[in-house]
Amino acid sequence: MTFEAMWADLLPVGRSAATGGYHRFAWTAPELECRAWFEAEAAGRGLALEPDANGNLFAWWYPADGRRDGAVLTGSHLDSVPGGGAFDGPLGVVTAFAALDALRERGFAPRRPLVVAAFAEEEGARFGVACLGSRLLTGAITPERARALRDGDGATFADVIAEHGLDPAAIGPDEALLGRLAYGVELHVEQGRALVGPVGVASSIIPHGRWRFGFTGQGDHAGTTALRDRRDPMLPFAAMVLAARQAAERNGTLATVGKVAVDPGGVNAIAASVTAWLDGRGPVDDAVRRTVTEIERAARLAAVGHDVKVDVAEESYTPLLDFPHALRDHLRALLGDVPLLPTGAGHDAGILAARIPTAMLYVRNPTGISHAPSEHADIPDCLAGVTALAQVLEDLLEHP
């Protein structure tokens, strides 16, 4: 199965006919179809499918001598943000299988196992915490907290995974599995326009986090309630959105409110409550923290004048991640001094890097757009990614 054939198989799964955007949320029908695709690709190659207790999929190619440790892991994720692009995640999984095929075609016999991975709920689009599968695997989130996470319909992570054959009591760090991994490499579509050549190597992931702002007022009639009598949560919410932009500009950071839930959401009703999610990122931890503090202060100040209650909860925070220099510099040199670049996006590789030497490769994105339908990489660049990944894997698998 060539890269193009695998890509064509995945392309229609979960794509909206109206927008061309992808809706592949963890353990929903389209994502289950992607998982089935992964299992079929693994089986077709005679790989050993060994999913873990956290919902992550792993397909192992063992060396002839049966060695089971010192493995090189490569892959990414198959879930998407709401209305996402085709490449964020799947490109890293499809190139992983294609690179494995390239190694086999040239008769390469690995000394170490190669494991292709698809991590669960990387985007956090369903349960709110990004990289949930890799966080559970590495112990970056407690099983108790993960079990209690809820999706938009109120279903808990524990209940959803139980429905799909996983044991909620068994989730959590897997030291036995981590102990078998020597290196990790995630290939990903570049999510900005910074990459000029077809392939690059990651330097770092900037600090990023998510905060939930709840504004509670009093639901009431839009036509019969005088302005002075209103407790409208929409007003401090609006102030918070504007404050986010201003605080980001002041601190040299990024602050985004891309998701909001209004209850009950009637045109002719003052809202009873508004919940807004703030995504905050920046070059250093202090600047991100300062940005969020300033936004929270502005929200609380605006709420006082409208007699609205404000609750702020941190849903996740990931500090600056500098990929290990020895590995990234080695891979860069191996690939012919390709560009080295930081990213503002979170990745499973960043979570994995806390436990094993991990690197990332990027494939050029000519539009620079990501988390949207026009996210793109040209096929020749994707194939250059396969070649680069195969070269990297061969090198790491050869390591004594």
Torsion sign, CA atoms 351, 354, 360, 365:
positive
Work out whether 88 is an interface residue with Mn ion (CB under 5 A).
yes
Cross-strand partners of 76: 118
Work out whether 282 is an interface residue with ligand GLV (CB under 6 A).
no
Site track for ligand GLV across 289-328, x = CB under 6 A: ----------------------------------------
Q: Judge contact between 128 and 137, C-beta under 8 A.
A: no
Nearer to ligand GLV, 271 or 321 (CB): 321
Q: Judge contact between 341 and 191, C-beta under 8 A.
A: no
d(CA 208, CA 352): 16
Interface residue with Mn ion, options 30, 89, 143, 350 (CB under 5 A): 89
Pick one of ligand GLV, Mn ion, none as the site partner of residue 375 (Cβ within 5 to 8 A by kind): none
Cβ neighbours for 391, distance < 8 A, ≥ 6 positions apart:
334, 335
Tokens of 382: 């994707």
Q: Position of tokens 């401090």?
A: 236
Work out whether 394 is an interface residue with ligand GLV (CB under 6 A).
no
Q: Please report how close the Cβ of residue 72 comes to Mn ion at its closest, in angstroms.
A: 20
What is residue 324's DSSP assignment?
P
Pick one of ligand GLV, Mn ion, none as the site partner of residue 130 (Cβ within 5 to 8 A by kind): ligand GLV
Query: 124: how many CB neighbours lie within 10 A of its CB?
Result: 21
Closest to 82 (Cα-Cα) out of 28, 39, 131, 45: 28
Nearer to Mn ion, 76 or 291 (CB): 76
Work out whether 345 is an interface residue with ligand GLV (CB under 6 A).
yes
Query: 193: how many CB neighbours lie within 10 A of its CB?
Result: 12
Q: Please report how close the Cβ of residue 158 comes to Mn ion at its closest, in angstroms.
A: 25
Site track for ligand GLV across 27-46, x = CB under 6 A: --------------------
Work out whether 190 is an interface residue with ligand GLV (CB under 6 A).
no
Q: Please report how close the Cβ of residue 131 comes to ligand GLV at its closest, in angstroms.
A: 8
Tokens of 42: 């693994």
Which amino acid, one-letter code, is at 240? M
- Strand segments, DSSP code E, in 25-159 are 48-49, 57-61, 71-77, 114-119
For residue 331, CA distances in Å to 56, 325, 381, 384 come to: 26, 10, 18, 15
What is residue 198's DSSP assignment?
S
Instruction: With contacts defined by CB under 5 A, name the span among 59-67, 85-93, 99-107, 164-172 that binds Mn ion.
Output: 85-93
Q: Please report how close the Cβ of residue 123 comes to ligand GLV at its closest, in angstroms.
A: 6
Q: Please report how close the Cβ of residue 215 comes to ligand GLV at its closest, in angstroms.
A: 24
Work out whether 357 is an interface residue with Mn ion (CB under 5 A).
no
Work out whether 359 is an interface residue with ligand GLV (CB under 6 A).
no
Tokens of 279: 């995504």
Q: Please report how close the Cβ of residue 22 comes to ligand GLV at its closest, in angstroms.
A: 13
Nearer to ligand GLV, 115 or 130 (CB): 130
Number of residues that bind Mn ion (CB under 5 A): 2
Q: Judge contact between 390 and 103, C-beta under 8 A.
A: yes
Closest to 24 (Cα-Cα) out of 116, 122, 91, 136: 122
Site track for ligand GLV across 122-161, x = CB under 6 A: -x------x-------------------------------
Q: Judge contact between 303 and 236, C-beta under 8 A.
A: yes
Nearer to Mn ion, 328 or 371 (CB): 371
Site for ligand GLV in 194-253 (CB under 6 A): none
Nearer to Mn ion, 131 or 181 (CB): 131
Sites of contact with Mn ion (CB under 5 A): 88-89
Sites of contact with ligand GLV (CB under 6 A): 123, 130, 345-346
